[in-house]
Chains A and B, each alone.
Chain A
Amino acid sequence: MSLIKMINIQKHYGGVEALKKINFEVGENEVVGLMGDNGAGKSTLIKIITGLHPFNGGEMYIKDKKINPKNYSVKKAHEIGIETVYQEQALAEKHSLWRNIFLGRQKTNKLGFIKVKEEKEETNQIMREMMGFTGIGANPDSSIHTLSGGEKQGVAIGRAMHFNADLVILDEPTMALSLQEVEKVLNFIREIKEKGKACIYISHNIANVYPVSDRFVVLDRGKIVGRYEREKISLEELNTEMVELTKVEG
């Protein structure tokens, strides 16, 4: 069974065609590396899967259920089990870790008042078990702006993991991270795979994408221009292919 199946998906922004009849699939337990230059359409494709933007044409199936773009939303994507770690990290800097973890999915009573103690306790657990925040100065009350880039990414990833997603989408998760922090993110992706979940990993950095992905999909100017399986291609060959595929003519 495919977790995600997109058939001839199209997306326009006004007169600009951002995605041109895309056919894209993610299996239940695979890591797909999504690659391409800036403006290739990677983020647009992700925003469609996560319910941020509706698609204009084609069909999308999630867990074999047809998606109606008119009533598909981020909330629905969360309910289905799709979590995203965005390039921009989607964190509010002035706010605490515990508030950021549960934003949009607060633990509340019937009147909508937040169960602060429960959220903080759970955050503490997430910090230790999923983010590897042991021994550092951060606690559930720490503001996001006091954390390092890697720690922030850890929060975004920990949040995605905590809600038990079947598909985790990572949009450029290693940008501006130290080598050590990049390794942490790559280990996290391996963990997703080990747990039987799926992942879409978007990055410019082929060296990072290659070791953790099962398949590679290359986008260029709104079109899928290449599909590869890791078993059948080396890193060097993939690199050469990428340069060829995304070459600007003229």
Chain B
Amino acid sequence: MMKSKLINSKNVAKYKTQLALFGIAIIVLLLFIATSPSVFLKPQIYRAFLSTVPFVGIIALGLTMILALGEIDLSFPAVMAISGFVFAIIFETTGSVILAIIGCLITGAIVGLINGLLITKIGIPSIIATLGMQFFIRGFSNLVSQGRAYSMGLRDTIYQKIFAGSLLGLPVQSYWFIGLAILLWFILFRHKFGEHILFTGDNEKATKMMGINVDKVKIMTFILMAVLASFAGIMDIFRMRTWWPTMGEGYLMMTMATVFVGGTSMFGGDATILGTVIGAFIIGSLEAGIVAAGLSGFWTRFIYGLLIIAAVTLHTVLKKKK
């Protein structure tokens, strides 16, 4: 009895950041229900969240890995655009969805590889390398597409069902999001690659001394991030059946907010996948909640900002106490 009490209190202490985040999520939800019960007591709004939150959520999972590494990636919105553009071109010329998907993911991987090489081999700080890459590939896709959108005429094939359909009454995107979250949790906390990411973020020098190829770990993580952004791009294309040059714009701040509200430290060596999943739902529901509550859209950013500051303050205070 004593032992089980001890274990329980230990677990509470270990997961207090996540528990606090759950608390924030519940408070936000209760506020929404109180201000607009007609919207938030019906299942439709939650189904809508499940179809929109996964786009930011999947990229946020990748960004969680990057932050665990002690780095940052600002190029992912443009990665969505350029890999989506490759998808559109391949689909338009060959008519093959599978080739388009492969081309799209390879494009993401190449951008991730270049980011990783710039950071590890040239030594450019990740914030600058990926900011430059963001402008470069956004500009490149604008130049090549001449700013025009591609309507792809994707029919209701099996691929449509896989990436933008519904299963058991819920949007299929939500299954992808949760499935990837579980997979990435296992990779980060139970696979040696994830352990190398966390150790690199914690103490890069020590990690090198123990024989880990830190450069390779960084390159692989940037590739993973970019491939996840491309994957989110594929889901977006199937949802909209169109590629447009500004694809991914607006995701930068939302994704960062998701990861920070989720409780992942920006100092590296520490991360929470569960926090990112909860953070994605909090951030993803804010806009709808604010509008449903009868407030103007101008309030959105104000409340985003407030929530980020409150969440990050809470995480910092809890960690200091730990």
* Bound form: Cα–Cα A52–B213 in Å: 11
- Known: A73-B211, A95-B269, A103-B212. Is A114-B206 also a contact (CB below 8 A)? no
Say yes or no: A114 contacts B269, CB within 8 Å. no
* Bound form: Cα–Cα A92–B195 in Å: 11
Name the interface size band of chain A: 20 to 34
Say yes or no: B193 contacts A95, CB within 8 Å. no
> Which of B191, B195, B205, B269 has the most chain A CB atoms inside 10 A of its CB?
B195
Q: State the Cβ distance, A175 to closest chain B Cβ, in Å.
A: 16
**Chain A: CB-nearest residue to B270:** A94
Q: Which residues of A contact B208 (CB under 8 A)?
A: 52, 74
**Chain B: CB-nearest residue to A79:** B211
Say yes or no: B210 contacts A104, CB within 8 Å. yes
Say yes or no: A94 contacts B202, CB within 8 Å. yes
> Which of B198, B207, B211 has the most chain A CB atoms inside 10 A of its CB?
B211
Q: State the Cβ distance, A82 to closest chain B Cβ, in Å.
A: 11
**Chain B: CB-nearest residue to A99:** B195
Q: Which residues of B contact A111 (CB under 8 A)?
A: 191
Contact with B along A34-68 (1 / 0, CB 8 A): 00000000000000001110000000000000000
Q: Which residues of B contact A103 (CB under 8 A)?
A: 195, 199, 207, 210, 212
Say yes or no: A106 contacts B211, CB within 8 Å. no
Cβ of B2 under 8 Å from chain A:
no
**Chain B: CB-nearest residue to A107:** B192
Say yes or no: A88 contacts B205, CB within 8 Å. yes
Q: State the Cβ distance, A156 to closest chain B Cβ, in Å.
A: 10
Q: State the Cβ distance, B299 to closest chain A Cβ, in Å.
A: 37
The 8 Å CB contact of B269, one of A74, A86, A92, A113, is: A92
- Known: A94-B269, A95-B269, A103-B212. Is A112-B193 also a contact (CB below 8 A)? yes
Say yes or no: B211 contacts A75, CB within 8 Å. yes
Say yes or no: A116 contacts B203, CB within 8 Å. no
Say yes or no: B211 contacts A90, CB within 8 Å. no
Q: State the Cβ distance, B214 to closest chain A Cβ, in Å.
A: 11
Q: Which residues of A contact B202 (CB under 8 A)?
A: 92-95
Cβ of B306 under 8 Å from chain A:
no
Say yes or no: B209 contacts A90, CB within 8 Å. yes
- Known: A75-B211, A94-B270, A114-B195. Is A88-B206 also a contact (CB below 8 A)? yes
Q: State the Cβ distance, A106 to closest chain B Cβ, in Å.
A: 5
Cβ of B190 under 8 Å from chain A:
yes
* Bound form: Cα–Cα A89–B207 in Å: 11
Q: State the Cβ distance, A190 to closest chain B Cβ, in Å.
A: 25
Contact with A along B230-259 (1 / 0, CB 8 A): 000000000000000000000000000000
Q: Which residues of A contact B193 (CB under 8 A)?
A: 112
Q: State the Cβ distance, B198 to closest chain A Cβ, in Å.
A: 7
* Bound form: Cα–Cα A104–B269 in Å: 16
Given contacts A91-B203, A92-B198, A114-B191, 17 further A-B contacts (CB under 8 A): A74-B209, A86-B206, A90-B203, A90-B209, A92-B207, A93-B203, A94-B198, A94-B202, A94-B269, A95-B269, A99-B199, A104-B211, A106-B192, A108-B192, A112-B192, A113-B190, A114-B195
Q: List 8 tightest A-B contacts by C-beta distance, closest first.
A: A74-B211, A92-B202, A104-B210, A90-B206, A90-B209, A75-B211, A92-B203, A94-B269
Task: Name B's A-contacting residues (CB within 8 A).
Answer: 186, 190-193, 195, 198-199, 202-203, 205-212, 269-270
Task: Name A's B-contacting residues (CB within 8 A).
Answer: 50-52, 73-75, 77-78, 84, 86, 88-95, 99, 103-104, 106, 108, 111-114, 116
Between-chain CB contacts (< 8 Å), 12 pairs: A50-B209, A52-B209, A90-B210, A92-B206, A93-B203, A94-B198, A94-B269, A103-B199, A104-B210, A104-B212, A114-B192, A116-B190
